[in-house]
Amino acid sequence: MTIEGRLTYAGSSRVQEATLVCHGESYELLGPDATPLAAGPVSGLRFAAPVGRTPRRVTLPDGALFETDQMDAVDALNPARNTLHLHRAEAFRPRLAGFVLATIGAAWVVWRYGVGLLVAVAVWLTPPNLARVLDDQTLRSFDRFVLEPTTLSTAEQAALQDDFTRLVAALSPSEAHTPLRLKFRTGPMGPNAFAMPGGTVVLTDELVRLSDDPDMVAGVMGHEIGHVIHRHSLQQIYRALGIYAVVGFLAGDTGPVLESLLLEGNLLLQLAYSREHEFEADAFAVDLAQRAGFDPHGLVRFFDHLTDMGLTDPLPSWGSTHPSHERRVEAIREQIHGIGAR
Amino acid sequence: MYHSGSLRPQRVLFHGNAREYFGIWIVNLLLSILTLGIYSAWAKVRTNKYFYQNTELAGRRFDYHATGMRILIGRIIIVVGFIVFQILSLVPLLLAVVAIGFLFLFPWLITRSLRFNARVTSWANVRFNFDGGPLQAFLVYLLYPLLSALTLYLAYPFADRARRRFVIGHHLIGRSRLRFDSGIGQFYAALLAFVGVVLVILALTFAGTIQTFVLMFNTVDFGAVDSFEGIESFIGLLVRAYIGTIAALVLGGMVYAAIMRNIIYRGTRIEGGHALHSSMPVAGYVWVGLSNALAIFATLGLMLPWAKVRMARFLAAHTQVMIAGDLDDFIGDILPEGGALGDAYTDMEAIDLGLPV
């Protein structure tokens, strides 16, 4: 067998025409005018894994490189069958469509279950005191920039703290994984409440003063406790990071634009999960209120109050982190109805 | 010896095509998913081999010689190290120690990465090499950018130029050294273009919304925590500000990258009198980048191979090497590559080392 190609000497960029001649188990390399350049057993040659239709590369024992465009001839000599199988699998043939479908299926499984699993493991690995440290830092920066000390009287605070303790006491042992604490603040964001991953629940004075209805505030506190118990914030942080890591790991370099969009755009995708979390926290609040002996309709009254005040969500539901009041009230009513029927 | 004489321009050719790379890419992706990411180390090698071997200069091809196992081991060590770092930094007392330790580790990882990548790259069977040390890497990657921040980035072009000089000037092909130099004016022009693009896009995004922004201060909510209820009209504005800022930075970044590429190639000489040249149109680069992103996005990633091949072809078409005499005289030895630790780190952190190949 005779293969025409080019020879590059070891460690030199000089190229010359050369011919590789194989007779059975031995080879001979000939230069122009058939001057012998090298000879030896074929087993001493190193065949590079074939990639696409690039020139095939054969390295001689002394490091010289023989390159040729006669791909099939070299591939026939290549003893590494598995790299050839890989090379053949990559060929642009109809069966590649099957690979595309298999990849989409596998990617879907990773997306649907893999990311969730990664998030669960990461949440499980996060030490509780790390979350509490994060809470303290976040609250401190809020205090510096937006929040102000509460104007509630000590008696008012004590009454709310009692309700909060009652709710916490009603948690089942498996739910009581994070120590919970209640904080009061006032600020420019009106009737509001939020929870942080380390178990800190913050109520605004405006929310407390919305009406003289302890069941309503208990419903809101239950909702925030629900976020903590279900570890929603942590999940969202890890989800965004996890998706970025998985895509980066699998797809590799995605080009100059998509790289940044991937990380940033991820956050917008999180909105869908965030709405799921709101429903979950609502359901938890109703259940907890019931267990702690509060009126589970408190949360419904809260939404009605907000709607009466004109504080509805101005964005269509796909653009918001929170579902609309009507849909939430509807879901809560259904749930309470279900409890009553049991 | 950097003699000047009559220079003969030689085009860089890229022979890859999207059909062929699609097959390689989809098999890589499938195997990577099925092996839970382990195969991605081999996939990286195969992808690089495809792109390097399809790049031709003066009748000779480039090649990539790293092995998947090396890269996998590097990645495992980096991931384990990253987790250990995270855990150690939880202890407040250790945090300072860990941070200072990282200050030493970072330049070392960068130089290791540059060296590894240079030594596994060849052209015409001659390997590249990198001989820069961590101390200088510390200066150009950490100290100078930090100092330029103190000048409100007015001195950033000087830091940038120092970094390019370091990275390019410590690269060798065989035993022939590369060298980079360029006037500082061009670096300022590139920075100015970046700032200009960012400002124009931000102005377009926020035209007429300043009023809303002032109002927003009164209706602020917290995206980072679970906010229960509140006035959320600001979210629409936030989304707009977010998209506008990203668009500004992405576009500005592309313009800057295109201008910088031309500057860097035009300022690079290879021992023996050869010179690199790039004549890339900035608008063309932005167009290819944006339309690529759109195509990838619209096809849920299936056009990624096409986009990568298209970009490689575009870059090659605007790259030349000005040859003094011929390219037969490069000689060099194959040097030990060392571990792929630094490479795994820069991969993970997506640090673009901007090699001049």
Q: What angle do CA A235, A240, A246 make, to 5 degrees?
A: 110
- Looking at the complex, does the CB of residue A65 fall below 8 Å from at least one CB of chain B? yes
B251: closest chain A residue by CA: A257
- Name, of A199-213, A328-342, B22-36, the range with top average pLDDT: B22-36
β-pairing, A200-204 vs B121-123, is: unpaired
CB contact under 8 A, B333 and A256: no
Q: Which of A232, A256, A320 sits opposite B232 (nearest CB)?
A: A320
The alpha carbon of residue B346 is apart from the nearest alpha carbon of chain A, in Å, by: 12
CB contact under 8 A, B21 and A52: yes
Helix (H) or strand (E) segment spanning residue A98 = helix A95-109
- Looking at the complex, does the CB of residue A253 fall below 8 Å from at least one CB of chain B? yes
pLDDT band at A148 (very low <50, low <70, confident <90, very high): confident
The alpha carbon of residue A129 is apart from the nearest alpha carbon of chain B, in Å, by: 9
Residues of A in contact with B233 (CB under 8 A): 314-315
CB contact under 8 A, A256 and B253: yes
Of all residues in chain A, the percent with pLDDT exceeding 70 is 87
Q: Residue A176's pLDDT is what?
A: 84
Q: Which of A54, A257, A259 sits opposite B290 (nearest CB)?
A: A257
DSSP output for A203-263:
EEHHHHTT-S-HHHHHHHHHHHHHHHHTTHHHHHHHHHHHHHHHHHHHH----HHHHHHHH
DSSP output for B205-226:
HHTT-HHHHHHHGGG---SSSE
Q: What angle do CA A240, A246, A249 make, to 5 degrees?
A: 135
CB contact under 8 A, B328 and A63: no
Rounded to whole angstroms, the Cα distance separating A310 from A312 reads: 6
DSSP output for B277-342:
EE---HHHHHHHHHHHHHHHHHTTTTTHHHHHHHHHHHHHHTEEEEEES-STT-B--PPP---SHH
Q: Residue B351's pLDDT is what?
A: 57
CB contact under 8 A, B333 and A11: yes
Contact indicator for A194, A232 with CB cutoff of 8 Å: no
Q: Quick count: other Cβ atoms within 10 Å of Cβ B183?
A: 11
The alpha carbon of residue A11 is apart from the nearest alpha carbon of chain B, in Å, by: 5
A231: closest chain B residue by CA: B226
Q: Which of A8, A188, A196 sits opposite B218 (nearest CB)?
A: A188
How do the domains of chain A map onto residue ranges?
Answer: 2-89, 126-341
CB contact under 8 A, A314 and B232: yes
Which whole number is the average pLDDT over B88-107? 81
Alpha-helical (H) ranges within B132-209 are: 134-138, 144-150, 156-169, 184-206
Q: Does domain A2-89 have CATH number 1.10.8?
A: no
Residues of A in contact with B90 (CB under 8 A): 127, 130
Question: Which one, of A61, A49, A42, A43, lies nearest residue A3 by Cα?
Answer: A42
What's the pTM value of the predicted model, to 2 decimals? 0.78
CB contact under 8 A, B90 and A89: no
pLDDT value at A319 more than 70: no
Question: Which one, of B350, B47, B304, lies nearest residue A103 by Cα?
Answer: B304
B305: closest chain A residue by CA: A254
Q: Which of A51, A260, A319 sits opposite B246 (nearest CB)?
A: A260
β-pair partners for B63: B122
Neighbour-count burial of A212, counting CB atoms closer than 10 A to its CB (0-12 exposed, 13-18 middle, 19+ buried): exposed
CB contact under 8 A, B296 and A86: no
Q: Residue A132's pLDDT is what?
A: 83
The alpha carbon of residue A26 is apart from the nearest alpha carbon of chain B, in Å, by: 24
pLDDT band at A302 (very low <50, low <70, confident <90, very high): confident
Rounded to whole angstroms, the Cα distance separating B78 from B344 reads: 7
Question: Which one, of A191, A171, A196, A170, lies nearest residue A181 by Cα?
Answer: A196
Position with higher pLDDT, B296 vs B354? B296
Tokens of B239: 């989304």
β-pairing, A148-149 vs A181-186, is: antiparallel
Rounded to whole angstroms, the Cα distance separating A282 from B244 reads: 34
- Residue B111 vs residues A88, B108, B117: alpha-carbon distances, Å: 38, 5, 10
β-pairing, A181-186 vs A200-204, is: parallel
- Looking at the complex, does the CB of residue A194 fall below 8 Å from at least one CB of chain B? yes
CB contact under 8 A, A52 and B229: no
Q: Quick count: other Cβ atoms within 10 Å of Cβ A137?
A: 12
- Looking at the complex, does the CB of residue A189 fall below 8 Å from at least one CB of chain B? yes
Contact indicator for A31, B146 with CB cutoff of 8 Å: no
- Name, of A191-205, B115-129, B242-256, the range with top average pLDDT: B115-129
Q: Quick count: other Cβ atoms within 10 Å of Cβ B197?
A: 21
Helix (H) or strand (E) segment spanning residue B344 = helix B341-348
A194: closest chain B residue by CA: B227
Contact indicator for A102, A166 with CB cutoff of 8 Å: no
CB contact under 8 A, B26 and A268: no
CB contact under 8 A, A13 and B304: no
Rounded to whole angstroms, the Cα distance separating A46 from A69 reads: 17
Weakest mean pLDDT among A59-63, A84-88, A182-186, A317-321: A317-321
